Amino acid sequence: MKRFFQPVEKDGSAKKPAISPSKKDKDENGEISEDSTTKEPLKFLTWNANSFLLRVKNNWPEFTNFVTSFDPDVIAIQEVRMPAAGSKGAPKNPAELKDDNSSSRAEKQIMMRALSSPPFQNYRVWWSLSDSKYAGTALFVKKCFQPKSVFFNLDKKASKHETDGRVILAEFETFRVLNTYVPNNGWTEEENSFPRRRKWDKRILEFVLQNSDKPLIWCGDLNVSHEEIDVSHPEFFSAAKQNGYVPPNKEDGTILMMQDCGQPGFTLAERKRFGNILKQGKLIDAYRLLHEEKDTERGFSWSGNPIGKYRGKRMRIDYFIVSEKLKDRILACEIHGQGIELKGFYGSDHCPVTLVLSEASPKSRESEISS
Protein backbone atom coordinates (compact mmCIF):
# COMPACT_ATOMS: atom_id res chain seq x y z
CA MET A 1 0.00 0.00 0.00
CA LYS A 2 2.78 2.45 0.88
CA ARG A 3 3.96 2.72 -2.70
CA PHE A 4 0.65 4.35 -3.66
CA PHE A 5 0.35 6.89 -0.87
CA GLN A 6 2.30 9.79 0.48
CA PRO A 7 3.04 9.61 4.23
CA VAL A 8 0.75 11.54 6.53
CA GLU A 9 2.45 14.23 8.58
CA LYS A 10 3.13 13.40 12.21
CA ASP A 11 0.42 15.70 13.47
CA GLY A 12 -2.09 13.83 11.25
CA SER A 13 -2.65 16.66 8.83
CA ALA A 14 -2.06 16.44 5.11
CA LYS A 15 0.03 18.94 3.22
CA LYS A 16 -2.09 21.83 2.00
CA PRO A 17 -2.49 21.89 -1.80
CA ALA A 18 -1.54 24.89 -3.84
CA ILE A 19 -4.54 26.70 -5.24
CA SER A 20 -4.33 27.53 -8.92
CA PRO A 21 -3.14 31.09 -9.54
CA SER A 22 -5.83 33.52 -8.52
CA LYS A 23 -6.41 36.23 -5.99
CA LYS A 24 -8.13 34.08 -3.37
CA ASP A 25 -7.78 34.82 0.30
CA LYS A 26 -7.22 32.10 2.86
CA ASP A 27 -8.06 32.16 6.53
CA GLU A 28 -5.59 31.21 9.24
CA ASN A 29 -6.35 27.51 8.71
CA GLY A 30 -5.61 27.66 5.00
CA GLU A 31 -9.27 27.36 3.97
CA ILE A 32 -10.77 29.56 1.28
CA SER A 33 -12.73 32.38 2.83
CA GLU A 34 -16.35 32.94 1.79
CA ASP A 35 -15.61 36.34 0.28
CA SER A 36 -12.97 34.89 -2.02
CA THR A 37 -15.13 32.14 -3.49
CA THR A 38 -16.58 33.71 -6.62
CA LYS A 39 -16.91 30.75 -8.98
CA GLU A 40 -19.20 27.75 -8.79
CA PRO A 41 -18.44 24.05 -9.43
CA LEU A 42 -18.93 22.96 -13.03
CA LYS A 43 -17.66 19.36 -13.14
CA PHE A 44 -19.30 16.62 -11.07
CA LEU A 45 -18.64 12.92 -10.49
CA THR A 46 -20.89 10.39 -8.74
CA TRP A 47 -19.96 6.81 -7.88
CA ASN A 48 -21.36 3.99 -5.78
CA ALA A 49 -18.07 2.53 -4.62
CA ASN A 50 -19.59 -0.64 -3.08
CA SER A 51 -17.25 -0.14 -0.07
CA PHE A 52 -14.98 2.86 -0.48
CA LEU A 53 -12.37 1.26 1.79
CA LEU A 54 -12.12 -1.82 -0.46
CA ARG A 55 -11.68 0.41 -3.47
CA VAL A 56 -8.85 2.22 -1.68
CA LYS A 57 -7.20 -1.09 -0.86
CA ASN A 58 -7.68 -2.80 -4.19
CA ASN A 59 -8.45 -0.33 -6.99
CA TRP A 60 -7.01 3.01 -5.93
CA PRO A 61 -4.41 3.62 -8.67
CA GLU A 62 -6.99 3.11 -11.43
CA PHE A 63 -9.64 5.27 -9.78
CA THR A 64 -7.07 7.93 -8.91
CA ASN A 65 -6.01 8.11 -12.55
CA PHE A 66 -9.63 8.53 -13.59
CA VAL A 67 -10.23 11.36 -11.10
CA THR A 68 -6.98 13.04 -12.12
CA SER A 69 -7.97 12.88 -15.77
CA PHE A 70 -11.54 14.14 -15.35
CA ASP A 71 -10.62 16.62 -12.59
CA PRO A 72 -14.08 17.02 -11.01
CA ASP A 73 -14.96 19.95 -8.78
CA VAL A 74 -17.37 17.79 -6.76
CA ILE A 75 -17.21 14.03 -6.08
CA ALA A 76 -20.24 12.26 -4.61
CA ILE A 77 -19.63 8.78 -3.17
CA GLN A 78 -22.25 6.26 -2.07
CA GLU A 79 -21.86 3.02 -0.11
CA VAL A 80 -18.83 4.19 1.83
CA ARG A 81 -19.40 1.27 4.23
CA MET A 82 -17.21 2.59 7.03
CA PRO A 83 -18.77 2.88 10.51
CA ALA A 84 -19.36 6.14 12.31
CA ALA A 85 -17.19 7.24 15.22
CA GLY A 86 -18.25 6.27 18.72
CA SER A 87 -17.34 3.49 21.10
CA LYS A 88 -19.62 0.54 21.88
CA GLY A 89 -22.77 1.67 23.65
CA ALA A 90 -21.98 5.36 23.15
CA PRO A 91 -23.74 7.82 20.80
CA LYS A 92 -22.33 7.72 17.29
CA ASN A 93 -20.94 10.66 15.31
CA PRO A 94 -21.95 10.04 11.66
CA ALA A 95 -19.67 12.85 10.47
CA GLU A 96 -16.47 11.09 11.62
CA LEU A 97 -14.83 7.75 10.82
CA LYS A 98 -14.68 5.21 13.65
CA ASP A 99 -11.25 4.92 15.31
CA ASP A 100 -11.84 3.62 18.86
CA ASN A 101 -10.12 0.24 18.42
CA SER A 102 -7.05 -1.08 16.63
CA SER A 103 -8.98 -2.39 13.63
CA SER A 104 -10.94 0.81 13.00
CA ARG A 105 -7.84 2.95 13.56
CA ALA A 106 -5.95 0.93 10.95
CA GLU A 107 -8.81 1.30 8.46
CA LYS A 108 -9.11 5.02 9.10
CA GLN A 109 -5.36 5.45 8.59
CA ILE A 110 -5.55 3.65 5.23
CA MET A 111 -8.37 5.97 4.16
CA MET A 112 -6.64 9.13 5.39
CA ARG A 113 -3.38 8.22 3.64
CA ALA A 114 -5.27 7.76 0.38
CA LEU A 115 -7.06 11.07 0.75
CA SER A 116 -3.89 12.94 1.66
CA SER A 117 -2.35 12.04 -1.70
CA PRO A 118 -2.96 13.74 -5.07
CA PRO A 119 -5.47 14.56 -6.33
CA PHE A 120 -7.67 14.04 -3.25
CA GLN A 121 -5.64 16.34 -1.05
CA ASN A 122 -7.13 19.19 -3.08
CA TYR A 123 -10.61 18.41 -1.73
CA ARG A 124 -12.45 18.90 1.51
CA VAL A 125 -14.54 15.87 2.46
CA TRP A 126 -17.81 15.53 4.38
CA TRP A 127 -18.96 12.14 5.69
CA SER A 128 -22.39 10.82 6.59
CA LEU A 129 -22.01 7.31 7.98
CA SER A 130 -24.05 4.44 9.35
CA ASP A 131 -23.37 2.88 12.75
CA SER A 132 -22.02 -0.23 11.03
CA LYS A 133 -20.24 -1.08 7.79
CA TYR A 134 -23.33 -0.34 5.76
CA ALA A 135 -24.50 2.35 3.34
CA GLY A 136 -23.00 5.81 4.06
CA THR A 137 -22.11 8.68 1.75
CA ALA A 138 -19.24 11.11 1.25
CA LEU A 139 -18.96 14.42 -0.57
CA PHE A 140 -15.67 15.85 -1.84
CA VAL A 141 -15.54 19.51 -2.86
CA LYS A 142 -12.44 21.23 -4.19
CA LYS A 143 -11.13 23.62 -1.58
CA CYS A 144 -11.46 26.54 -3.96
CA PHE A 145 -15.26 26.04 -3.94
CA GLN A 146 -16.62 26.71 -0.49
CA PRO A 147 -20.26 25.63 0.08
CA LYS A 148 -22.37 28.14 1.94
CA SER A 149 -23.76 25.29 4.06
CA VAL A 150 -23.76 21.50 4.23
CA PHE A 151 -26.61 19.39 5.62
CA PHE A 152 -26.96 15.65 6.10
CA ASN A 153 -30.73 15.32 5.88
CA LEU A 154 -33.65 16.26 3.66
CA ASP A 155 -35.09 18.49 6.39
CA LYS A 156 -32.03 20.80 6.38
CA LYS A 157 -31.66 20.52 10.14
CA ALA A 158 -28.25 21.26 11.61
CA SER A 159 -26.22 18.20 12.69
CA LYS A 160 -29.03 15.71 11.99
CA HIS A 161 -28.07 12.78 9.74
CA GLU A 162 -30.46 10.61 7.75
CA THR A 163 -30.68 6.97 8.81
CA ASP A 164 -27.69 5.01 7.46
CA GLY A 165 -26.03 8.22 6.21
CA ARG A 166 -27.95 8.38 2.94
CA VAL A 167 -27.89 12.15 2.31
CA ILE A 168 -25.40 15.00 1.95
CA LEU A 169 -26.72 18.35 0.74
CA ALA A 170 -24.34 21.17 -0.19
CA GLU A 171 -25.64 24.63 -0.90
CA PHE A 172 -23.67 26.91 -3.18
CA GLU A 173 -24.38 30.47 -4.25
CA THR A 174 -26.51 29.61 -7.28
CA PHE A 175 -27.55 25.95 -6.83
CA ARG A 176 -27.72 23.01 -4.45
CA VAL A 177 -25.98 19.63 -4.83
CA LEU A 178 -27.79 16.64 -3.32
CA ASN A 179 -25.88 13.36 -2.96
CA THR A 180 -28.14 10.43 -2.07
CA TYR A 181 -27.90 6.69 -1.65
CA VAL A 182 -31.56 5.83 -2.10
CA PRO A 183 -32.82 2.75 -0.21
CA ASN A 184 -33.46 -0.29 -2.36
CA ASN A 185 -36.97 -1.70 -2.61
CA GLY A 186 -35.48 -5.04 -1.62
CA TRP A 187 -37.13 -8.43 -1.84
CA THR A 188 -38.52 -9.23 1.59
CA GLU A 189 -41.46 -8.00 3.61
CA GLU A 190 -39.59 -8.48 6.87
CA GLU A 191 -37.30 -5.51 6.18
CA ASN A 192 -40.30 -3.25 5.42
CA SER A 193 -38.44 -2.30 2.28
CA PHE A 194 -41.49 -1.40 0.18
CA PRO A 195 -43.07 1.00 2.72
CA ARG A 196 -39.59 2.43 3.39
CA ARG A 197 -39.05 3.18 -0.29
CA ARG A 198 -42.50 4.74 -0.72
CA LYS A 199 -41.84 6.97 2.29
CA TRP A 200 -38.45 7.97 0.87
CA ASP A 201 -39.95 8.89 -2.52
CA LYS A 202 -42.61 10.98 -0.80
CA ARG A 203 -39.97 12.85 1.21
CA ILE A 204 -37.81 13.47 -1.86
CA LEU A 205 -40.79 14.94 -3.71
CA GLU A 206 -41.56 17.19 -0.73
CA PHE A 207 -37.91 18.28 -0.57
CA VAL A 208 -37.82 19.15 -4.27
CA LEU A 209 -41.04 21.15 -4.13
CA GLN A 210 -40.10 22.98 -0.93
CA ASN A 211 -36.63 23.94 -2.21
CA SER A 212 -37.42 25.27 -5.67
CA ASP A 213 -35.90 28.67 -4.90
CA LYS A 214 -32.57 27.45 -6.29
CA PRO A 215 -31.69 25.00 -9.07
CA LEU A 216 -30.89 21.48 -7.90
CA ILE A 217 -28.23 18.99 -9.00
CA TRP A 218 -29.35 15.66 -7.57
CA CYS A 219 -26.92 12.78 -8.01
CA GLY A 220 -26.07 9.36 -6.68
CA ASP A 221 -27.33 5.81 -6.67
CA LEU A 222 -31.07 6.46 -7.00
CA ASN A 223 -31.88 2.72 -7.20
CA VAL A 224 -34.42 3.06 -9.99
CA SER A 225 -34.36 2.52 -13.74
CA HIS A 226 -36.95 4.94 -15.04
CA GLU A 227 -37.82 3.51 -18.45
CA GLU A 228 -37.33 0.26 -20.37
CA ILE A 229 -34.45 1.93 -22.23
CA ASP A 230 -32.64 2.09 -18.88
CA VAL A 231 -32.26 -1.70 -18.51
CA SER A 232 -30.58 -4.18 -20.79
CA HIS A 233 -33.31 -6.84 -20.59
CA PRO A 234 -36.73 -5.29 -19.78
CA GLU A 235 -38.64 -8.59 -19.79
CA PHE A 236 -36.13 -10.25 -17.47
CA PHE A 237 -36.19 -7.40 -14.95
CA SER A 238 -39.99 -7.02 -15.09
CA ALA A 239 -40.47 -10.68 -14.17
CA ALA A 240 -37.47 -11.06 -11.85
CA LYS A 241 -38.06 -12.91 -8.59
CA GLN A 242 -35.89 -14.15 -5.77
CA ASN A 243 -36.69 -17.72 -4.83
CA GLY A 244 -40.19 -17.26 -6.19
CA TYR A 245 -40.84 -14.25 -3.95
CA VAL A 246 -43.88 -12.10 -4.74
CA PRO A 247 -44.25 -8.94 -2.62
CA PRO A 248 -47.41 -8.87 -0.49
CA ASN A 249 -49.29 -5.63 -0.13
CA LYS A 250 -52.06 -6.07 2.41
CA GLU A 251 -52.98 -2.41 2.68
CA ASP A 252 -53.06 -1.31 -0.95
CA GLY A 253 -54.62 -4.26 -2.73
CA THR A 254 -53.81 -6.44 -5.70
CA ILE A 255 -53.16 -3.65 -8.24
CA LEU A 256 -50.33 -2.09 -6.24
CA MET A 257 -49.01 -5.53 -5.37
CA MET A 258 -48.58 -6.21 -9.08
CA GLN A 259 -46.86 -2.85 -9.50
CA ASP A 260 -44.35 -3.92 -6.83
CA CYS A 261 -43.45 -7.12 -8.69
CA GLY A 262 -40.17 -7.54 -10.50
CA GLN A 263 -36.61 -6.44 -9.99
CA PRO A 264 -36.18 -3.88 -7.19
CA GLY A 265 -35.48 -0.62 -8.99
CA PHE A 266 -37.57 -1.62 -12.00
CA THR A 267 -41.01 -2.14 -10.51
CA LEU A 268 -43.86 -0.14 -12.01
CA ALA A 269 -44.59 1.57 -8.70
CA GLU A 270 -41.02 2.85 -8.28
CA ARG A 271 -40.77 4.00 -11.87
CA LYS A 272 -44.08 5.89 -11.72
CA ARG A 273 -43.11 7.64 -8.48
CA PHE A 274 -39.76 8.62 -9.95
CA GLY A 275 -41.41 10.02 -13.06
CA ASN A 276 -43.77 12.02 -10.88
CA ILE A 277 -40.84 13.48 -8.92
CA LEU A 278 -39.23 14.63 -12.17
CA LYS A 279 -42.46 16.07 -13.55
CA GLN A 280 -43.64 17.90 -10.45
CA GLY A 281 -40.15 19.05 -9.52
CA LYS A 282 -39.40 20.31 -13.04
CA LEU A 283 -36.30 18.14 -13.17
CA ILE A 284 -34.35 16.67 -16.08
CA ASP A 285 -32.44 13.41 -16.41
CA ALA A 286 -29.19 14.85 -17.76
CA TYR A 287 -27.89 11.62 -19.29
CA ARG A 288 -31.12 10.80 -21.12
CA LEU A 289 -31.39 14.38 -22.37
CA LEU A 290 -28.09 13.93 -24.26
CA HIS A 291 -28.42 10.20 -25.07
CA GLU A 292 -31.85 9.54 -26.52
CA GLU A 293 -31.05 6.15 -28.02
CA LYS A 294 -30.41 2.92 -26.12
CA ASP A 295 -26.71 2.09 -25.81
CA THR A 296 -26.42 -1.61 -25.02
CA GLU A 297 -22.70 -1.36 -24.30
CA ARG A 298 -22.16 1.94 -22.46
CA GLY A 299 -25.63 3.01 -21.37
CA PHE A 300 -25.85 1.32 -17.97
CA SER A 301 -24.19 2.16 -14.66
CA TRP A 302 -24.79 -1.12 -12.77
CA SER A 303 -23.88 -4.58 -13.98
CA GLY A 304 -24.85 -7.92 -12.48
CA ASN A 305 -22.47 -10.59 -11.29
CA PRO A 306 -20.58 -12.11 -14.25
CA ILE A 307 -21.49 -15.53 -12.82
CA GLY A 308 -25.11 -16.67 -12.66
CA LYS A 309 -28.44 -15.47 -14.03
CA TYR A 310 -27.45 -11.79 -13.84
CA ARG A 311 -24.52 -12.21 -16.22
CA GLY A 312 -24.77 -9.49 -18.84
CA LYS A 313 -27.85 -7.97 -17.19
CA ARG A 314 -27.45 -4.25 -16.58
CA MET A 315 -29.36 -1.26 -15.23
CA ARG A 316 -28.95 2.50 -15.20
CA ILE A 317 -29.58 3.45 -11.59
CA ASP A 318 -26.92 6.15 -11.06
CA TYR A 319 -28.00 9.62 -12.17
CA PHE A 320 -27.53 13.32 -12.46
CA ILE A 321 -30.96 14.89 -12.16
CA VAL A 322 -30.93 18.67 -12.65
CA SER A 323 -33.46 21.47 -12.56
CA GLU A 324 -34.91 22.59 -15.88
CA LYS A 325 -33.35 25.98 -15.15
CA LEU A 326 -29.94 24.37 -15.78
CA LYS A 327 -30.94 22.55 -18.98
CA ASP A 328 -29.15 24.89 -21.38
CA ARG A 329 -25.94 24.64 -19.36
CA ILE A 330 -25.58 20.85 -19.62
CA LEU A 331 -22.51 20.18 -21.78
CA ALA A 332 -21.93 16.49 -21.06
CA CYS A 333 -23.19 13.61 -18.95
CA GLU A 334 -21.39 10.32 -19.39
CA ILE A 335 -21.31 6.80 -17.95
CA HIS A 336 -17.72 5.55 -17.63
CA GLY A 337 -18.04 1.77 -17.61
CA GLN A 338 -18.85 -0.95 -20.10
CA GLY A 339 -19.05 -4.65 -20.86
CA ILE A 340 -19.39 -7.91 -18.97
CA GLU A 341 -15.73 -7.46 -18.03
CA LEU A 342 -16.76 -4.36 -16.04
CA LYS A 343 -14.19 -2.07 -17.61
CA GLY A 344 -14.21 1.26 -15.80
CA PHE A 345 -16.04 -0.07 -12.74
CA TYR A 346 -12.87 0.03 -10.60
CA GLY A 347 -13.90 -2.97 -8.50
CA SER A 348 -17.45 -1.87 -7.78
CA ASP A 349 -20.62 -3.19 -9.39
CA HIS A 350 -21.34 0.45 -10.32
CA CYS A 351 -19.28 2.68 -12.59
CA PRO A 352 -18.75 6.45 -12.29
CA VAL A 353 -21.08 8.94 -13.94
CA THR A 354 -20.01 12.50 -14.74
CA LEU A 355 -21.71 15.80 -15.46
CA VAL A 356 -20.23 18.95 -16.98
CA LEU A 357 -21.97 22.34 -16.97
CA SER A 358 -21.08 25.50 -18.82
CA GLU A 359 -20.39 28.67 -16.87
CA ALA A 360 -23.42 30.76 -16.06
CA SER A 361 -23.73 34.20 -17.53
CA PRO A 362 -24.55 37.01 -15.09
CA LYS A 363 -28.12 37.15 -16.43
CA SER A 364 -28.62 33.41 -16.16
CA ARG A 365 -27.30 33.41 -12.60
CA GLU A 366 -29.98 35.91 -11.67
CA SER A 367 -32.76 34.05 -13.49
CA GLU A 368 -31.77 30.64 -12.09
CA ILE A 369 -32.16 31.92 -8.55
CA SER A 370 -35.14 34.22 -9.01
CA SER A 371 -37.30 32.31 -11.51
Catalytic residues: 181, 221, 350
79 labelled binding-site residue: yes
206 labelled binding-site residue: no
Task: Answer for the pair 337, 301: CB distance below 8 angstroms, yes or no.
Answer: yes
Report how far Cα 185 is from the mean position of its chain's Cα atoms: 17
349 labelled binding-site residue: yes
35 labelled binding-site residue: no
Rounded to a whole number of angstroms, the distance between the first and last alpha carbons of the chain is: 51
| E strand segments, 106-212 | 123-128, 137-142, 149-151, 167-171, 176-181
Q: Helices 268-281 and 193-210 sit at what angle, rounded to 10 degrees?
A: 10
233 labelled binding-site residue: no
Task: Answer for the pair 172, 40: CB distance below 8 angstroms, yes or no.
Answer: yes
| E strand segments, 182-272 | 216-221
221 labelled binding-site residue: yes
3-state DSSP assignment of residue 138:
strand
Residues 87 and 94: their CA atoms lie apart, in Å, by: 12
If you write DSSP's letter for every residue of 85-99 in order, what string do you get?
Answer: E--TTSPPEEEEE--
Residues marked as binding for Mg(2+)? 48, 79, 221, 223, 349-350
